[in-house]
A and B are shown apart, each in its own frame.
Chain A
Amino acid sequence: MAKLDLSAITKSFGATRVLDQVSLSVPDREFVVVVGPSGCGKSTLLRIVAGLEAASAGEVLLDDRPVSQLSPGQRNVAMVFQNYALYPHLTVAANIGFGLRRARMRRAEKREAVARVARLLEIEPLLNRRPGALSGGQRQRVAMGRAIIRNPAVFLFDEPLSNLDARLRMQMRSEIRALHRAVPTTTLYVTHDQIEAMTMADRVVVMNGGRIEQIGTPTEVYSAPRTTFVAGFIGMPSINMIPARYRGDALELPSTTLPVPAAVKPRLAGHAGRDLLVGLRPEHLDIRPGGDGLVAEVDQIEPTGSETLVYLDHPAMRLSARTAPDTALSPGMQVGLRLLLERASFFDAETGLNLVPPPSNLTGELTA
């Protein structure tokens, strides 16, 4: 149980700056997911918290106590590795119990502790096996068992699900969440998968190029992205970015001009004449005859069962829309589009920043 603070963490490998002034506060028991494309520095950040790498500058604080001078073993953190890093020559029981080697416990107590963790993770029948004889999901559980048993201050997960198949990944997502409910521990979870970020996190930290782009609840980063990067990274299919210019209470879009709804006007105030980007989620783009005067050609149709994704070509951009599954569209059709501008995010095309900055949430207080 602990509060984790990162203050202005910077890390350089030679001339390459991997992390640039990264600050983050994780309150006790919060589940924070750090998400970003590969190479954004998220794993390095995790390794710095674990003590496996040293920061070039900045400080890691656990319960307001600086830990940068402590070795990984002294920090009381537990980590689940991408490839699980189970000791292949030890049994599952010995793997889980490894962290208790020097605990002041009787042998029977240790065995009981291992059994308790095994029960929690439903791996009791596997205790005498070696990791080599386990499936990917079972190894994953053993790795978590090894982490839980030490009752660490902070849990660190380094892309723990990326070696599993899609179905198992979904199952483990909810199991990790359930585990966090059962054993509420401050957690830093690193992934490149935005679905994991959205489904598991109390708060999401979106990173890009060694910097934090946005910190917020899953809903916040989805519906109020701070930058065009966050808007594009979160959400599948990607958000539609429509170039626009605000002039005289109307938005000039490629090949059409739309009146701006009254509710949206305050957001655009003061940005007249500037180049903007209208970020519109696929579910906020309606395909309907006539539409708003924006016409595009249907390029591809992807039925997923519960809904159908439609990819559209417009001379100025590529768009995607979410429609009901019973759509009568077919590739090559010209369709009219209606934009739900009330739900759109507006970005400055030059800076890539949202015109209405979302709450910064850097302090780490849960907004619920």
Chain B
Amino acid sequence: MTDTATRPIADAPPRTTGARGGVAARLASGPLPWLLPAVAMLGLFYLYPVIEAVRLAFTDARLFDTETAFSMRSVSSLAGSSTLGTILRNTLSYTVASVVGQIALGLAIALLVVRAERARLRGTLVLRTIVLAAWVIPAIANGIIWQLLFSEAPFGAINSALRMAGVAPVAWLSDPGNAMLSAVIATIWQGTAYSMILLYAALKTIDTALYEAAAIDAARPWERFWFITLPHLRPALLVNAILILIMTLNMFDTILALTGGGPGRATEILSLYAYGTVFQNFELGRGAALSMLLLVISLTLTALLTLLLPQERR
């Protein structure tokens, strides 16, 4: 302590006292100690499993076999697989339809809520809460709910309603052509809440004076949307698209509960296929390779969307 007293006093109050604090202070001023906890957590629970999955993809591991050998068979078997082609087509149509549907519907509801709030209408909070309620339901329960709704048995709610309206019942889940549509509807119904909240928050940040200026400039509704709302929402829409894309690509519990991937392979998407490969066929190596494929697809699409994000707001 005595040597600190003889040192000239710095203009900033000293953060540490004594020589002992020197190393700790130097460390604390660098980024490493602050990053370490996060790096450790991510490494342990995210990075390690990914590396392990990569390793497994290059083995012939089976779920209940302890003996494994390195092999290219898991990976190479995917190359010529016609099943995988079907799965990828399913994944593409399911993902595109769900993502577009969730963003469009979420945006529509968010615009509606903001508009209602500006008009000082009652009930906007109730509406927001109802929409959010869908998001609170676990995906697997969502699948079961929609299975009951779509059910072609006499108690199926949608078909009952159609019958009452004098419309012929629809084979929602048993017709391979309709099953994918049903899966997309169930996914959109649940995921819309997420888009809605994200876009609602973004809409709330838009200065209302801009809309007033546009009103005085005699802008029509589409012009207000095109020149004010949409440019402001661009970053939020892209972030929303990235998040929903990842969630939808990884979605499997709703479909598992709704159709189980059927009829046939009509609604089997990549994540469900990987699940089946591991837990029904016990082909751990092949399942790991499929997971890698899913990871690569997710990363590529995310990277592409990220490129569209404005680097800095001007």
Residues of A near any B CB (own CB < 8 A): 50-52, 71-74, 77-79, 81-83, 85-90, 98-99, 101-102, 130, 132-133, 146, 150
Contacts and interface: CB of A to CB of B under 8 A. Distances in A.
Given A87-B228, A89-B227, A73 B314 contact: no
B217 interface: yes
Nearest to A73: B218
B212 A71 contact: no
Given A85-B207, A90-B227, A132 B216 contact: no
Interface in B206-231: 207, 209-210, 212-219, 223, 227-228, 231
Contact of B218 (A79, A82, A102): A102
A81 B210 CA distance: 9
28 contacts: A50-B216, A52-B212, A52-B215, A52-B216, A72-B216, A72-B218, A73-B217, A77-B216, A79-B212, A79-B213, A79-B216, A82-B209, A83-B209, A85-B207, A85-B213, A87-B227, A88-B231, A88-B232, A89-B232, A90-B227, A98-B217, A98-B219, A99-B217, A99-B218, A101-B219, A132-B313, A132-B314, A146-B217
Contact of B215 (A73, A82, A83): A73
A-B pairs, top 4 by smallest CB distance, nearest first, are A73-B218, A89-B231, A85-B209, A85-B213
A208 to B, nearest CB: 26
A85 B212 contact: yes
Given A50-B216, A85-B209, A88-B232, 20 more contacts: A50-B212, A51-B216, A72-B212, A73-B215, A73-B216, A73-B218, A79-B212, A79-B213, A81-B212, A82-B209, A85-B210, A85-B212, A85-B213, A87-B213, A88-B231, A101-B217, A101-B219, A130-B314, A132-B313, A146-B213
Given A85-B207, A85-B209, A89-B227, A133 B314 contact: yes
Nearest to A158: B209
Contact of B207 (A72, A83, A89, A132): A83
Nearest to A13: B120
Nearest to B212: A52
A47 to B, nearest CB: 8
B40 to A, nearest CB: 40
Residues of B in contact with A, size category: 10 to 19
Interface in B137-182: none
Contacts of A85: 207, 209-210, 212-213
Contacts of B217: 73, 98-99, 101, 146, 150
Interface string B229-258: 001100000000000000000000000000
Contacts of A89: 227-228, 231-232
B234 to A, nearest CB: 9
Contacts of A78: 216
A82 B209 CA distance: 9
Contacts of B213: 79, 81, 85-87, 146
Nearest to B223: A101
A102 B218 CA distance: 9
B237 to A, nearest CB: 14
B37 to A, nearest CB: 37
B204 to A, nearest CB: 16
Contacts of B216: 50-52, 72-73, 77-79
A73 B219 contact: yes
Contacts of B215: 51-52, 71-73
Residue picked from A82, A85, A90, A101, most chain B C-beta under 10 Å? A85
Contacts of A133: 314
A95 to B, nearest CB: 9
A96 to B, nearest CB: 11
B210 A87 contact: yes
B116 to A, nearest CB: 18
A51 B232 CA distance: 25
Contacts of A71: 215, 218
Contacts of A77: 216
Interface in B12-31: none
